[in-house]
Structure 1
Amino acid sequence: MSKFGKLLQSAPVRKAKAFANRVPRLAAHLSAKEEDYRARPPIIVNSLPKSGTHLLMQIAQELPDRRYFGSFIAQTPSMTLRMRSQGEIDRKIAAIVPGEVLGTHLYYTPETEAALRKINAIHLFIWRDPRDVLLSEAHYLAKMNRWHAMHKAFAALPDAETQVRFAITGNGGNYPGAEERIGSYMGWLTSDSCLSLRYEELVDPQTQLGQCQRILDVYKATARAPGSLPSAEMLVDAINPARSHTFNRGGIGRWRKEMSPANLALCEERLGPWLAS
């Protein structure tokens, strides 16, 4: 991606675009009726950060009659890391428009689950092996996102080994340890209100077609007027990780080559239940 392209995808520019869309989004929300949510359910692309949010957004935007306003709901916005209250999250969910597709980083709570059910949302949750998440997060915060509240802390560390350890242990304050940051999402894995997807299976040529078919099946089962649906092959063709402003080449299972034995032991200690073999 060119420097100009990176600028267009920077956090301030993306937030400015979303702000500009607030008026048409509000107008669409005010005119929406309950039956509109049944006919054209919103699609929530929820993710464990650094797990393929934009990849899944590319797929979701290929589904019929979608509206994208640039909105994003984060439990802890990256510029401040302030934890949003349940009331704030509920209000933001209630403001979602029929047919809207938007990205989120939403922790699991029964209240959030109920709020998404209330608007008949198709909830897609994507996650990834936490060891690869932590490698990606450390690189992203140290090298790629200077607007993030933790960028300076990561950039000041002497090497990648120390940065990854910091991603695992946290700072004891607004950036808690990985077991809390990652564990807060994992309730979605056992929720029957969302479709849980593994990043590894969405990028593997052997499994991605089947995963895209699962998404289509959920869409057909939820939307009252599903319209002319794309094929699973068309959804696969929409995947282009390099178009994401957060994309970092490296692939699946980087932790096997790049994570030190000491950091792997920390991951086992803190994240054992969620680690793949």
Structure 2
Amino acid sequence: MFLFRDPRDVVVSFVYYVMNKLRTDPSYPYLSNKCSSQKDRYQAMIEGFQDGNYRRPGITEWYERFMRWSKDEGALVLKFEDLVGSNRKNECERIIKYLMPNVKLQSDILSLINVMEENIKPENSLTFRQGKVGCWRDEFDEELKRITKELCGPLLIDLGYETTNRWL
């Protein structure tokens, strides 16, 4: 299974996660000591950075490491936004059919979907902050949008988050 999320939201989510919950991450010293603002942290994650022996790739390079999985005919490709949105039941059904191809009865599938939904407990998750789609819009200023377009434009189009590089 290949699950992906809008790279802009990944940047925002990752920065909040590292700064507030995972201070043992190798990115933390750079983000906390060498970035003077949240904007600087976002820019560092978008562009990538080198801190001593530690190199953090930019978000496009980071995604490109996994993109071949999205083209694998044997992979189930899922969008985070579909899993948290109104399409959740359909996506859960796709997961069930992928993992358990012998389940044929719709009643069994619906029971499994109910179990899956009952097990969604954001309050128990270390990585959950908001789970909102498009939160980058509240965080990125015009300069960050410009940088993101330059460095991530083709990726955003390939992933289906934008149709052109003329977004916002």
The TM-score with structure 2 as length reference comes to 0.80
- Deviant stretches of 4+, over 4 Å: none
Distance between the aligned counterparts of 1:192 and 1:162, measured in 2? 39
Are the equivalent residues in 1 in contact too, given 2:84–2:131 (CA < 8 A)? no
In structure 2, the CA distance between the partners of 1:250 and 1:199, relative to structure 1 (3 Å rule), is closer
Measured in 2, the distance between the counterparts of 1:219 and 1:250 equals: 24
Equivalent position to 1:218, from 89, 93, 98: 98
Percentage identity across paired residues of the two chains: 26
SS at match of 2:23: coil
Instruction: Output the CA distance in 1 between the equivalents of 2:22 and 2:135.
Output: 21
Gap runs ≥5 in structure 2: 163-168
**Is the partner of 1:171 in helix, strand or coil?**
strand
| 1:174 counterpart residue number | 55
AA paired with 2:98? V
Higher RCO, Cα 8 Å, sep 6+: 2
Segments of 5+ residues of structure 1 without an aligned counterpart are 1-123
- Measured after TM superposition, the shift of residue 222 of structure 1 is 7.1
Q: Aligned residue for 2:13?
A: 136
2:141 maps to 1:264: no
| Distance in 2 separating the partners of 1:143 and 1:241 | 16
Contact preservation (8 Å) 1:141, 1:155: no
Q: CA deviation at 1:239?
A: 1.5
Please report how far the alpha carbon of residue 241 of structure 1 lies from its aligned counterpart in structure 2 after TM superposition. Answer: 2.3
The aligned counterpart of 1:159 is 37
From 24, 33, 39, give the equivalent of 1:147. 24
In the alignment, is the contact (CA less than 8 A) between 1:139 and 1:160 conserved in 2?
no
SS at match of 2:78: strand
Provide the rounded CA distance (Å) in 1 between the counterparts of 2:136 and 2:90: 26
Structure 2 Cα separation of the partners of residues 202 and 166 of structure 1: 28
Q: Is the CA contact 1:134–1:168 (under 8 Å) kept in the aligned structure 2?
A: yes
Query: What is the CA deviation profile of residues 84-132 of structure 1, one whole-angstrom value per residue up to 9, with x for unaligned ones?
Result: xxxxxxxxxxxxxxxxxxxxxxxxxxxxxxxxxxxxxxxx221100000
| Aligned Cα root-mean-square deviation (Å) | 2.0
* Equivalence map 1:79-90=2 (5 Å): none
The structural deviation recorded for 1:274 is 2.9
Aligned length: 149
SS at 1:132's partner residue?
helix
TM-score, normalised to structure 1's length? 0.50
- Aligned mate of 2:112, from 214, 231, 235: 231
Once the 2 structures are TM-superposed, how far is the Cα of residue 243 of structure 1 from its aligned partner? 1.6
1:141 alignment partner, SS class: helix
Matching of residue 274 in structure 1 with residue 152 in structure 2: no
